[in-house]
Chains A and B, each alone.
Chain A
Amino acid sequence: MDGKGIPKSIKLPETIKVFRNLKNAKRFAIDIGGSLTKIAYYSTLSHRRATYAKDKEKPLMSDDHTYAISESARLHFVKFETKYIERCLDFVQANLVGTREKMVGKIIKATGGGAYKYSNLIQDKLGLKVEKEDEMGCLIKGCNFLLKNISDEAFVFHRHANPEYEFQTADPNIFPYLLVNIGSGVSILKVESEDSYERIGGTATGGGTFWGLGSLLTKAKGFDELLELAEVGDHRNTDLLVGDIYGGDYKSLGLECDLIASAFGKVCHLSRKGKQMQCSEADVAKSLLFTISNDIGQIASLYAMMHNIRKVYFGGYFLRNHPLSMHTISYSINYWSKGSVQSLFLRHEGYLGAIGAFLKGAEQCGENYSWQENYAGSSALEPQPCTWLDNNVPFAQLEMDRWESPVSFCPLLSDPNNYIPDAVDLNVDHEARKYWLDCFEQSIDKFVDCAIASQVDSETAEERANQFKEQYIKRLHQLRKQPFAYGNLTVRSLLDTIQHCMKEFDFPDPYISVKQCENEAALSQLSERLNYLDSLPPEDRNKELVVSVLAGNMFDWGARAVVEIMENEQFGLSEAKEKIPDRPWLIDNLDMWLERMRGPAHNHAAIFIDNSGVDIILGILPFARELIKRGTKVILCANSEPALNDVTHKELEVILSQAGTICPIINQAVENGTLEAMETAQAGPCLDLSRLNSSLAKAITNVDLIVIEGMGRAVHTNLYAKFTCESLRVAVIKNRWLAEKLGGEMFAVIFKYDSGNTIF
């Protein structure tokens, strides 16, 4: 056990919300646009990382042996208006740990129109050597990076639908696509692979045209005021509509009466008649926004059709996720392509250039890593309120955590293109959204208590836990108003957010002591349990194995109903078994499964596990052992990082070696590789099969049985996923509302066996 460098008292997290972790910043990039500037930096974070005692002789429940300092890497992106660039550079300079001298000779990658203009300023302030990067190349690199790494990055916008934001699921193949970059002018780029792209065209009618004409025609100061003005205008006072010319629809051409026939076409009629101008500045602004957006949409769709490309992403300062502009462009693309081209917007569209510039030559971001959005540190989808540096400089941020392995799609999915992990989309299902937001808000004190209890020796634990609570509740309130703020709102994303916030306040593994206690207790019963199972005739044994897995799944600290039982009663495997309802269960394919077990053994099984203690040791291990006895090779797939009381990969390895001392079959299986523990690259209680650790994905290519256990992995997610092989989904629903929603009662059982159309 590494006992060195353990903090006795942990510092409170920084209160500054912008330019976080700047002290350890290692590498910078900057994208300076005409209106917005983005600074990117990479920094390492020291986190206490929970470790698990291999040596069970060491005392439990003592705080200081369970944590060690570990470093994790994070990418930070900070976005602000270019007019504040000097203040921001001053801030960065003042907060960097190293002196200016330390920076001398180091490089900052710069892109964007302002890279040239501000290059001396940057050099003066930071002492960094400015190295300019081609703008288009950076945009493409940034776009590829976001599409590959960030969940729910791209979305389709429907202004009048509910929900307005339809986020796209991860796509195993992102190419080919068009990137339409709307800056001052418009560039249209065709991207066919990671490093092959070409500029196929563009138009001079872009953001600069909107801004320039808008400045000439209205008193609006700046781009944002112009957008605000457009929002309240009525283009029908300036534009000539089909109805103005025809008195109604132009049916033979299928042109509807509210279609714009001639932008600004009404203006000259008004002035010639010597009448007072009947259009206001707001009307002109709206008309201008429509004109430019429509035109860009049309030209983009013409290029997409010419090159036979279906997906068109938009970037650049013009859009900024502004609903009216996105709507107009979407409408235009759909109209001109007759639905054959899809317009897609990006949640982090503004960061493309900065990300790309950063990635140029950044060895910290190579092929061997993957990245995940940090929900605690990132801003909501714009235009939402953002963070402020001092009183009047608004900021938006994006933070991404590095994973030490690449991720890829689970090879067993039968339709990876259409795979959606989550069973319920809370953006769509309002009732479920309300329930879960309430549920998480009400449960938060349990998490807080547990977090404090896990660090009894820390003086700051209570304060940090309360800060965590405050941040999470604030987030829940924001999500009530803007459920789309971080992509699809799902039970999974809500759980992930808890995890991210907990970690932010230095509670990396609040359940570590609980998990250890439960594991010790369960291990002590393992021998007796295995003897009992072995004494049963095969048919009864197979049935009992299933019931044990179900009973084990009751031990879930994420489920409020169970926590109350566990806190107040003596609760073990036999008590849990009594809670399992009589058959038929809510989904009950037990007979099919027992029939299957009479047939030939599976070659290779992958089991995605849940919880700790009774669940993994008395439920899953005997089940896996039975498969091994039949000649099946088994991979137990555990989380890479802690989440609630879910067993982590590291803990699983300890459990297997301890179980090996109790059961020779398990011992032998671990030694000869027929029983293996692997990590999933997941850090939450749910399971996203589009982001599996690549080594695991490779290892399970030939699996002919996939078992997914628990409410998070088999009900909140993957309940409807289709696999190319046999699959088993096993869970007890420990939430009355969800059980009833699915047509069952409290502790309803899901035992779903799917033969995957394989024949024996």
Chain B
Amino acid sequence: MAPQSCRVCIKLRMASGSIPNGQSLSESSDYPCMPWFGMDIGGTLTKLVYFEPKDITPDEANEEVEVLRNIRRYLTKNSAYGSTGHRDTHLQMDDVEIGGRRGIIHFIRFPTSEMPNFLALAKSKGMATLITTVCATGGGAYKFEENFANEVNMKLAKYDELDSLIRGMLYVEMNNPMECYYWSNPIEYESCQKERYDFSDPYPFLIVNIGSGVSVLAVYGESSYKRISGTSLGGGTFLGLCCLLTGCNTFEEAIELATKGDNTKVDKLVKDIYGGDYDRFGLPGDLVASSFGHMNSSSKRNEVSKEDLARATLVTITNNIGSIARMCALNEKINKVVFVGNFLRVNPISMKLLAYAMEYWSKGTLKALFLEHEVIIIIIRV
């Protein structure tokens, strides 16, 4: 039978008229039991979505069990949990309706490597007494299934990751007209600006989901999509290489370093080889010809800073993703490319690079699009 805690999903699915997994409709008309959670357990980060109801009636408040109230308070009063958990307050979606309830959607993240601590915390808050099932997606939904069952008596209702990703994205776009944007004039780095993009007629489009690794999906309709490519050079590669090269520990640190660095001290540019533009093949002199191409020289290695190395790593990974995305779009004859995923969080450098790469190499025929809620859209199922 369909678990109570999945009602969030079921309700939302009704709106879009598709009912996967053979779950019974009759239950979906009931108000679901709180709390409503969704999880995306990725290779590096776990993303937790929590719906905080704001329309609690006095009756309901009286009935509300203490444990539930404590959990709500714990989650909404804090924005940091332990040393590694964060609530992204800037992302929270106020006054949204889900399953007949109004409230706030909160977005919380923590490293997947902290999963044992998360389970211990959940156990200490008595979560197991409330719900028996949590909707989950991402690889960890499979990997940690047993841990959830054994340690906190929770069942994970697993949903296909890419399915969730696309439905989530369409839901957010529908609820937030300001969701989708692009970078205008990306060729000029300084004057480059965020502009709203009308995504009401989206199909077909490409989603490039940059997490630890990268997935590239072609979406032709609400339930018609395919994974066409991907690469293992993703956010995890950026962070991993930065850790090794600079000794930093977190994504935020790595991005901060990269912001202050200069990749041209690390990379070999076209002009470093040809003295200027390589006209014969239309390659501009400032183009990176070889990422890290200067670093086999020990004297050049002595001249670069941690910041330069972080920047070069970021540029390498970003350009590579841009290049693969562009070719996938061309091969699929699609001209809208939506970049999402954790890698782009607090990372305008990469977004502008991607926007630039799409614009420059396609001579303006491809558009790079971004979403405000790039972090979390996987969670909410439509």
What is the interface of chain A, defined by CB distance below 8 A to chain B?
Answer: 113, 134, 136, 183-185, 187, 199, 201, 203-209, 211-217, 223, 238-240, 242, 244-248, 250, 252-253, 259-269, 271-273, 284, 291, 294-295, 298-299, 302-303, 305-306, 336
Report the separation of the CA atoms of residues A734 and B247 in the bound assembly, to the nearest whole angstrom: 72
Once A215-B301, A246-B143, A250-B139 are accepted as A-B contacts, the answer to whether A261 and B330 lie under 8 Å apart by CB is no
Residue in B138, B240, B287, B330 whose CB lies within 8 Å of A238? B240
The smallest beta-carbon distance between A679 and chain B, in angstroms, is 43
Q: Is the CB of A246 within 8 A of B244?
A: no
Residue in A260, A272, A294 whose CB lies within 8 Å of B111? A272
Task: Give 19 A-B pairs besides A213-B295, A264-B240 with Cβ atoms closer than 8 angstroms.
Answer: A185-B289, A187-B281, A201-B327, A203-B320, A204-B290, A204-B319, A205-B291, A209-B291, A212-B291, A216-B292, A239-B232, A248-B142, A262-B44, A268-B236, A272-B84, A272-B113, A294-B232, A306-B327, A336-B229
Q: In the complex, what residues of B have CB within 8 A of residue A250's CB?
A: 139, 142
The smallest beta-carbon distance between B270 and chain A, in angstroms, is 9
Enumerate 14 A-B pairs (CB-CB under 8 Å) in ascending A order. Answer: A184-B273, A208-B293, A209-B290, A211-B292, A212-B290, A245-B138, A246-B140, A262-B212, A262-B213, A262-B234, A264-B240, A267-B240, A269-B111, A294-B232
Q: Is the CB of B233 within 8 A of A213?
A: no
Once A212-B295, A215-B296, A262-B234 are accepted as A-B contacts, the answer to whether A269 and B244 lie under 8 Å apart by CB is no
Q: Is B331 engaged at the interface, CB distance under 8 Å to the other chain?
A: yes
Q: Is the CB of B236 within 8 A of A204?
A: no
Q: Is the CB of B43 within 8 A of A245?
A: yes
Residue in B239, B295, B320 whose CB lies within 8 Å of A216? B295
Report the separation of the CA atoms of residues A273 and B112 in the bound assembly, to the nearest whole angstrom: 12
Residue in A259, A263, A268, A302 whose CB lies within 8 Å of B243? A268
The smallest beta-carbon distance between B308 and chain A, in angstroms, is 11
Report the separation of the CA atoms of residues A760 and B263 in the bound assembly, to the nearest whole angstrom: 76
Once A185-B268, A265-B213 are accepted as A-B contacts, the answer to whether A209 and B293 lie under 8 Å apart by CB is yes
Once A262-B44, A264-B240, A268-B44 are accepted as A-B contacts, the answer to whether A302 and B324 lie under 8 Å apart by CB is yes
Q: Is B241 engaged at the interface, CB distance under 8 Å to the other chain?
A: yes
Report the separation of the CA atoms of residues A244 and B280 in the bound assembly, to the nearest whole angstrom: 46
Q: Is the CB of A204 within 8 A of B143?
A: no
Q: Is B86 engaged at the interface, CB distance under 8 Å to the other chain?
A: no
Q: Is B64 engaged at the interface, CB distance under 8 Å to the other chain?
A: no
Q: Is the CB of B331 within 8 A of A212?
A: no
Q: In the complex, what residues of B have CB within 8 A of residue A268's CB?
A: 44, 236, 239-240, 243, 249-250
Residue in A199, A259, A265 whose CB lies within 8 Å of B237? A265
Report the separation of the CA atoms of residues A240 and B328 in the bound assembly, to the nearest whole angstrom: 24
Q: In the complex, what residues of A have CB within 8 A of residue B296's CB?
A: 208, 211-212, 214-215, 223
Q: Is the CB of B236 within 8 A of A262?
A: yes
Q: Is B227 engaged at the interface, CB distance under 8 Å to the other chain?
A: yes
Once A204-B288, A306-B330 are accepted as A-B contacts, the answer to whether A265 and B240 lie under 8 Å apart by CB is yes
Q: Is B344 engaged at the interface, CB distance under 8 Å to the other chain?
A: no
Q: Is the CB of B139 within 8 A of A204?
A: no
Q: Is the CB of A299 within 8 A of B327?
A: yes
The smallest beta-carbon distance between A35 and chain B, in angstroms, is 9
Q: Is the CB of B240 within 8 A of A266?
A: yes
Q: Is the CB of A284 within 8 A of B244?
A: yes
What residue of chain A has the Cβ atom nearest to residue B162's Cβ? A253
Most A-side CB within 10 Å, residue of B294, B296, B319: B296
Q: In the complex, what residues of B have CB within 8 A of residue A298's CB?
A: 229, 231, 324
What residue of chain A has the Cβ atom nearest to residue B361's Cβ? A201
Residue in B237, B287, B289, B292 whose CB lies within 8 Å of A262? B237
Cβ proximity bits B10-43 to A, threshold 8 Å, 1 near / 0 not = 0000000000000000000000000000000011
Once A268-B44, A298-B324, A299-B327 are accepted as A-B contacts, the answer to whether A263 and B237 lie under 8 Å apart by CB is yes
Q: Is B266 engaged at the interface, CB distance under 8 Å to the other chain?
A: yes
Q: Is B264 engaged at the interface, CB distance under 8 Å to the other chain?
A: no
Most A-side CB within 10 Å, residue of B140, B160, B233: B233
Residue in A184, A217, A244 whose CB lies within 8 Å of B290? A184
Once A244-B43, A299-B323 are accepted as A-B contacts, the answer to whether A216 and B236 lie under 8 Å apart by CB is no
The smallest beta-carbon distance between B185 and chain A, in angstroms, is 24
Q: Is the CB of B139 within 8 A of A242?
A: yes
The smallest beta-carbon distance between B280 and chain A, in angstroms, is 7
The smallest beta-carbon distance between A184 and chain B, in angstroms, is 4
Q: Is B335 engaged at the interface, CB distance under 8 Å to the other chain?
A: no
The smallest beta-carbon distance between A117 and chain B, in angstroms, is 11
Q: Is B8 engaged at the interface, CB distance under 8 Å to the other chain?
A: no
Report the separation of the CA atoms of residues A263 and B241 in the bound assembly, to the nearest whole angstrom: 9
Q: In the complex, what residues of B have CB within 8 A of residue A246's CB?
A: 139-140, 142-143
The smallest beta-carbon distance between B271 and chain A, in angstroms, is 13
Report the separation of the CA atoms of residues A590 and B139 in the bound assembly, to the nearest whole angstrom: 70
The smallest beta-carbon distance between B261 and chain A, in angstroms, is 14
The smallest beta-carbon distance between A287 and chain B, in angstroms, is 9
Q: In the complex, what residues of A have CB within 8 A of residue B139's CB?
A: 242, 245-247, 250, 261
Q: Is the CB of A134 within 8 A of B280?
A: yes
Report the separation of the CA atoms of residues A252 and B294 in the bound assembly, to the nearest whole angstrom: 42
Report the separation of the CA atoms of residues A261 and B140 in the bound assembly, to the nearest whole angstrom: 13
Report the separation of the CA atoms of residues A253 and B111 in the bound assembly, to the nearest whole angstrom: 24
Most A-side CB within 10 Å, residue of B229, B232, B245, B294: B232
Within 8 A of A (CB), among B157-181: 160, 162
Q: In the complex, what residues of A have CB within 8 A of residue B316's CB?
A: 204-205, 209
Q: Is the CB of B42 within 8 A of A245?
A: yes
Residue in A187, A253, A271, A305 whose CB lies within 8 Å of B249? A271
Q: In the complex, what residues of B have CB within 8 A of residue A252's CB?
A: 160
The smallest beta-carbon distance between A289 and chain B, in angstroms, is 13
Q: In the complex, what residues of A have CB within 8 A of residue B294's CB?
A: 212
Once A245-B43, A263-B237 are accepted as A-B contacts, the answer to whether A212 and B232 lie under 8 Å apart by CB is no
Q: In the complex, what residues of B have CB within 8 A of residue A262's CB?
A: 43-44, 211-213, 232, 234-237, 240
Q: Is the CB of A306 within 8 A of B244?
A: no
Q: Is the CB of B249 within 8 A of A204?
A: no
Q: In the complex, what residues of B have CB within 8 A of residue A212's CB?
A: 266, 290-296
The 4 A-B residue pairs with the shortest CB-CB distance, nearest first, are: A264-B240, A265-B236, A245-B139, A212-B292
Report the separation of the CA atoms of residues A223 and B292 in the bound assembly, to the nearest whole angstrom: 14
Residue in A204, A205, A223, A302 whose CB lies within 8 Å of B328? A302
Q: Is the CB of B243 within 8 A of A261?
A: no
Q: In the complex, what residues of A have CB within 8 A of residue B235's CB?
A: 262
Q: Is the CB of B309 within 8 A of A216?
A: yes
Q: In the complex, what residues of A have CB within 8 A of residue B249's CB?
A: 268, 271-272
Once A216-B295, A245-B139, A295-B320 are accepted as A-B contacts, the answer to whether A184 and B268 lie under 8 Å apart by CB is yes
The smallest beta-carbon distance between B84 and chain A, in angstroms, is 8
Report the separation of the CA atoms of residues A294 and B236 in the bound assembly, to the nearest whole angstrom: 16
Q: In the complex, what residues of B have CB within 8 A of residue A201's CB?
A: 327
Q: Is B267 engaged at the interface, CB distance under 8 Å to the other chain?
A: yes
Report the separation of the CA atoms of residues A302 and B239 in the bound assembly, to the nearest whole angstrom: 26
Q: Is the CB of B291 within 8 A of A216?
A: no
Report the separation of the CA atoms of residues A267 and B144 in the bound assembly, to the nearest whole angstrom: 20
Q: In the complex, what residues of A have CB within 8 A of residue B328's CB?
A: 302
Q: In the complex, what residues of A have CB within 8 A of residue B44's CB?
A: 240, 262, 265, 268-269
Cβ proximity bits B247-270 to A, threshold 8 Å, 1 near / 0 not = 001100000000000000011100
The smallest beta-carbon distance between B164 and chain A, in angstroms, is 12
Cβ proximity bits B191-226 to A, threshold 8 Å, 1 near / 0 not = 000000000000000000001110000000000000
Residue in A187, A244, A253, A263 whose CB lies within 8 Å of B233? A263
Most B-side CB within 10 Å, residue of A214, A252, A267, A336: A267
What residue of chain B has the Cβ atom nearest to residue A336's Cβ? B229
Q: Is the CB of B113 within 8 A of A264?
A: no
Q: Is the CB of A265 within 8 A of B212?
A: yes
Residue in B142, B241, B288 whose CB lies within 8 Å of A213? B241
Q: In the complex, what residues of A have CB within 8 A of residue B330's CB?
A: 306
Q: Is the CB of B295 within 8 A of A215?
A: yes
Q: In the complex, what residues of B have CB within 8 A of residue A240's CB?
A: 43-44, 212-213, 236
The smallest beta-carbon distance between B128 and chain A, in angstroms, is 22
Q: In the complex, what residues of B have CB within 8 A of residue A272's CB?
A: 84, 111, 113, 249-250
Q: Is the CB of A299 within 8 A of B324?
A: yes
